Structure 1
Amino acid sequence: MDKSKLLLVVVLAVLVGGCGQMDSSPEETEKTPAEMDPTDLPQIDAFQNEYSRELMVSTEPVAEGYYLMRSKIDAFTIWFPEEAVLMDNASGVDGDHYEKIRISYENKNENREYTGNFQYQYGGNAKKPERILDNLRWRWDFEDEWNEVEEEESRILYGIKEVAPNEYVVMGYKVSIKQTPQVIEFVYDVGCVNKQAKGCEIHLEEEKQFALQWVKSIRFSGTRSNGDETDGE
């Protein structure tokens, strides 16, 4: 075969190979729950609610009854109870330094309802979290001592108050120790849907453990939403 014919064969082979690569589709990236069809998601409130679905990280549970949720500004993650929903009208962000979320649950059959309110702050009150405690004392007329829980990278201070028969509030803050200044104020309010109905009974110890497990699940990201490190500022 002369050189001209050999060159033609090589060119054709390259063209055919290139077309084949163009026809082959790249591997599809795994979709987030927000990108999936709701019918393909777990048939539970956390995923069927359009607002909470947007913040879910995966359809795989992180613990029994919980899924991982990431904040809108990527400041923290938190376990999301499968039976709860995000209240979009009571949630919001302010730049990359403030975010509030409200998570709600109501079950008339078991006559129990709760809301979990979480407010993240970078800077500001995060540098002086005792202001948060002062504010909570004023808002809830709380006079007892605060309880403290030490974690590897954070510290939790909390208090409990019975605001009405069978209605309790667990309140306080979680502050980052290694990735300061970051803090999350929390208020967990639990009670009966129908306080007049028979069988309205809220167990304080169970609710306290539920609330603390929820708060302990929070993990600060250590970065702002634009990727800048928070440490040292």
Structure 2
Amino acid sequence: MKKIILICTSILLALTTGCSTNDNKTKAVNPKDLPQVPAFQDEKTREYMVSTIEEEPGYYVLESKLKGFRMLFPWDGEYLPDYSTSNGENSESIGFQSDNEKSNILLDAQISYYNKSTFINSPETMLHQISNENGYKGDFKKEKTAGKTVYAASKKSTFKNSARKYNYSFQYFGYIKSSSEEYLGIVYSFIVRCKKDDKPCALDEDQARERADTLIRSITFLEGGKR
């Protein structure tokens, strides 16, 4: 993820209409003039942010470096370079964490975008692979929406040989296939868990699912990306 920040002509403009943060120099921007949240205060993360204006309460908009897709991005999210890769042409994987200190709940996310890849065009192949990678033996829910078909599954996992008080996590994973273009798709994975064992953690399955669903539903393919 190395888009750069567009400087707003004035702080007033930033407050009223928002800055576009793609395709200009991040070094020229004073972090004090940006939202005081991890998504913008972390230099690498803000390269992916589309605007300083929230799209929804608590969420901004991320755009992939290949301009292949957009999705909602949590205000407390931070890009993980060690879990992100790109070939610069038709594949890109974005890893990030959303770490809420107040709730003690951590979200690990991985979004992998593929274009012009024959394997991504086969739901049967993709779902078999995703099931194996996640140790999952159930079915996937299929939902068609504008421009895409979403295959989704989830499971609760318990950490083996762990004395942790909060020794469980909720996983949401699946595959999104473009319905308007061939050989274009996304593999996604979200894991929600308590971060620290010595702090209260009210991790609720319904809330975890709602959070993951919000992100999954927001993923949208873009036209005109690098092809």
Q: Please give the range of the TM-score, normalised by the shorter of the 2 chains.
A: 0.7 to 0.9
User: Structure 2 vs 1, CA of residues 60 and 108 (structure 1 numbering), >3 Å: closer, same or farther?
Assistant: closer
Contact 1:66 1:80 in 2 (8 A): yes
- Percent identical among aligned pairs is 23
Q: Is the 8 A contact 2:121 2:177 kept in 1?
A: no
Tell me how far apart the structure 2 counterparts of residues 204 and 132 of structure 1 sit (CA, whole Å).
Answer: 26
Structure 1 ranges of 4+ moved more than 3 A: 28-35, 196-201
SS in 2 for 1:184: strand
Q: Normalised by the size of structure 2, how large is the TM-score?
A: 0.80
* Contact 1:102-1:116 within 8 A present in 2 as well: yes
Report deviation, 1:53: 0.6
Residues 198 and 84 (structure 1 numbering): CA distance in 2 closer, same or farther, change over 3 Å?
A: closer
Number of matched residues?
A: 198
Structure 1 or 2, whichever has the larger Rg, is 1
Per-residue Cα deviation, 1:126-160 (whole angstroms, up to 9, x for no partner): 21133221122112211111112220211111111
C-alpha distance in structure 2 between counterparts of 1:88 and 1:198, whole Å: 28
Q: Check whether the contact 2:114–2:120 (CA below 8 A) recurs between aligned residues.
A: yes
Alignment pair present for 1:177 and 2:171: no
Secondary structure class of the residue paired with 1:214 = helix
| Structure 1 partner of 2:137 | 143
Distance in 1 (alpha carbons) for counterparts of 2:100 and 2:214: 21
Which residue is 1:52 aligned to? 45
Counterpart in the other structure of 1:38: 31
- 3-state SS in 1 of match to 2:119: helix
| Partner secondary structure for residue 61 of structure 2 | strand
> Are 2:50 and 2:63, in contact at CA under 8 Å, matched by a contact in 1?
yes
Contact 1:170–1:187 under 8 Å retained in 2:
yes
- In terms of fraction of residues, the more helix-rich structure is 1
DSSP 3-state at the match of 1:222:
coil
Secondary structure of the corresponding residue to residue 169 of structure 1:
strand
Q: Secondary structure at the match of 2:48?
A: coil
Deviations 1:161-196 (A, max 9, x none): 1111431110001111012321110010111112x4
Instruction: Verify the 8 A CA contact 2:103 2:202 in the aligned structure 1.
Output: no
Q: Which runs of 5+ in 2 are unaligned?
A: 1-8, 14-18, 159-166
Q: Residue 214 of structure 1 corresponds to which residue in structure 2? A: 215
Secondary structure at 1:60 match in 2: coil
After superposition, the Cα gap between the structure-2 partners of 1:198 and 1:80, relative to the gap in structure 1 and judged at 3 Å, is: closer
Output the amino acid matched with 2:58. Answer: G
